[in-house]
Structure 1
């Protein structure tokens, strides 16, 4: 089932999320719905806060290209243990902030601990684009958005556009829930 994606300005996007355990209700169905929602919106990652749930769950599927293999994972109760390497800029976007893309600096290597959808614990080193997507989604479960990493000037320049998004004045090919608008799209 495709779920509505929560738009910029919703308080759930600023919450530090809570851990879950194996008894979380209908977890496998939720994960399946998240993948369907992400694919429908042409995303490469989706975090639970983006569908209105303040839990430490996110998914990634970089789909791969000629240079990199596909990287598809479910991350439950993830903790980034280490980030390393020379930070590099990449033009990022977010399904919760449609029509806004900005260069964000991130380190190219991470060490992350997490549980997968079968509650198997992993500790993994991830590099390159998959590491960047993980860091972006991890920020979501920490109550941070990519716009929080921008300079004060860039944030000021984007203020009108971000306000418009929160009011529903944006066009997307997927369902969204807007904090300053009563109806769903």
Structure 2
């Protein structure tokens, strides 16, 4: 396993739309393992392949307290269960140290494949539902800052540009 570099906003590669995964092979298994290690190392609860510059429909999530229950979502699709939404404080490994409240569906039904390619479904609410929606957005080239006002988004952009400039110096 190896930690991967996480792309950071405003990197344009985060705007790429991910392609469906056709083959479950050894290379994909390595990517899954690398993504899980990267997510845990960064202290995140979710990571989309797009965030590590692999533009394929793959997500890893672990919302357990002790990070012992990683979920693998290959070619995930979700549908809301009902119209009810709830705001929740969100952060993103691609936008370090910035958090904002985002309103998302309270409950969702997920269809995906596990790491072996077996199809599964689950219903999620709370943090897991938010995480599924947030990470699926990454696969569409959408970031949580896109839900913010233009003023707040511009502030985040300037903060991240300053962060990158300091890292280069």
TM above 0.5, one fold? yes
The residue number in structure 2 matching 1:102 is 100
Q: Sort the Cα spacing of 1:146 and 1:115 in 2 relative to 1 into closer, same or farther, 3 A.
A: same
Task: Identify the structure with bigger relative contact order (alpha carbons < 8 Å, sequence gap 6+).
Answer: 1
Instruction: Give the Å deviation of 1:162.
Output: 3.0
Question: 5+ unaligned residues in a row in structure 1: which ranges?
Answer: 171-180
Aligned match for 1:140, one of 119, 138, 141: 138
Question: 5+ unaligned residues in a row in structure 2: which ranges?
Answer: none
Distance in 2 between residues matched to 1:27 and 1:11, nearest whole Å: 24
1:120 aligns with 2:112: no
Distance in 2 between residues matched to 1:60 and 1:150, nearest whole Å: 24
The residue number in structure 1 matching 2:33 is 32
The residue number in structure 2 matching 1:17 is 18
Distance in 2 between residues matched to 1:71 and 1:107, nearest whole Å: 23
Question: Which aligned segments of 4 or more residues in structure 1 are displaced greater than 6 angstroms?
Answer: none
Aligned-residue Cα RMSD (Å) equals 2.2
8 A contact 2:36–2:70 mirrored in 1: no
- Between Structure 1 and Structure 2, how many residues are aligned? 168
Greater helix percent: which structure?
2
Worse overlay, 35-44 or 78-87: 78-87
Distance in 1 between residues matched to 2:3 and 2:148, nearest whole Å: 31
The residue number in structure 1 matching 2:42 is 41
The residue number in structure 2 matching 1:8 is 9
Distance in 2 between residues matched to 1:145 and 1:43, nearest whole Å: 15
